[in-house]
Amino acid sequence: MSNPGRLIIIAGLPGTGKSTLAKKLALRFQATIYSPDDWMDALGVNLWDNAVRDAVERLQWQQAQDILRLGGTAIIEWGTWARSERDILRIGARALGSAAELHFLDAEPAVLYARMSARGRENPPITLDQLQAYSAAIERPTAEELAFYDAPSEPLS
């Protein structure tokens, strides 16, 4: 494989700026973004429907792998709160000979709550208590985990 592609995983809680970063990276690298929220919104599906979200993510991962096989760049913007989720994506990309990078975005729950309240996308809205629980539950990448990833292809300005 001369150009095996690159997988960019953007992880973090709701409101951390994953979509904003994904759009910047997509423009810079002519990448395809895979965001279940965008697809679910387009289909008129409730963002809290976990069965549909799981099906959308499976379909997006299949398509992302096709992009990688063609030498392109795929951006997974699922949140990927658990290391095991990130590991599956990284290992899958590596099996195709692709590079894999991880961008983890983080912020305090009060900041996330303010951002999410301002955008008003979630119905029902996420509460501060939920965000605090999510913040306690997310598996933040350790230095050991980050060592498995390629450095970002180009520093963000």
> Is 67:74 a contact under the CB 8 Å cutoff?
yes
Cα first-last separation, the chain: 31
User: Is the pLDDT at 40 greater than 70, yes or no?
Assistant: yes
**156 band by pLDDT with thresholds 50, 70 and 90:** low
SS3 (DSSP) at 76: strand
Determine what percent of the chain is predicted with pLDDT higher than 70.
96
Residue 153 lies in a domain: no
**Single-letter amino acid code for the residue at 91:** I
Average pLDDT over residues 76-89: 95
- Domain of residue 46: give its range: 6-146
In a domain, 132, yes or no: yes
140 occurs within a structural domain: yes
Beta sheet of 32-34, edge-to-edge order: 32-34, 73-79, 6-12, 99-105
pLDDT tens for residues 84-142?
999 999 999 999 999 999 999 999 999 999 998 888 777 778 899 999 999 999 999 99
Number of domains in the chain: 1
Task: Report the pLDDT value the prediction gives residue 155, as an integer from 0 to 100.
Answer: 55
Residue 1 falls inside a structural domain: no
pLDDT at residue number 64: 98
- The predicted structure's pLDDT at residue 154: 64
Q: Helix 128-137 vs helix 109-119: angle between axes, to the nearest 10 degrees? A: 130
Its pTM surpasses 0.85? yes
Question: Residues 14-20: what's their mean pLDDT?
Answer: 93
Where residue 69 falls (left for φ over 0; alpha for ψ -120 to 50; beta otherwise) is alpha
Where residue 86 sits, what CATH number does that domain have? 3.40.50.300
Mean pLDDT of 7-27: 95
Question: What is the mean predicted confidence (pLDDT) over 28-36?
Answer: 96
d(CA 18, CA 106): 10
pLDDT of residue 2: 60
pLDDT tens, 141-154?
Answer: 999 999 999 998 76
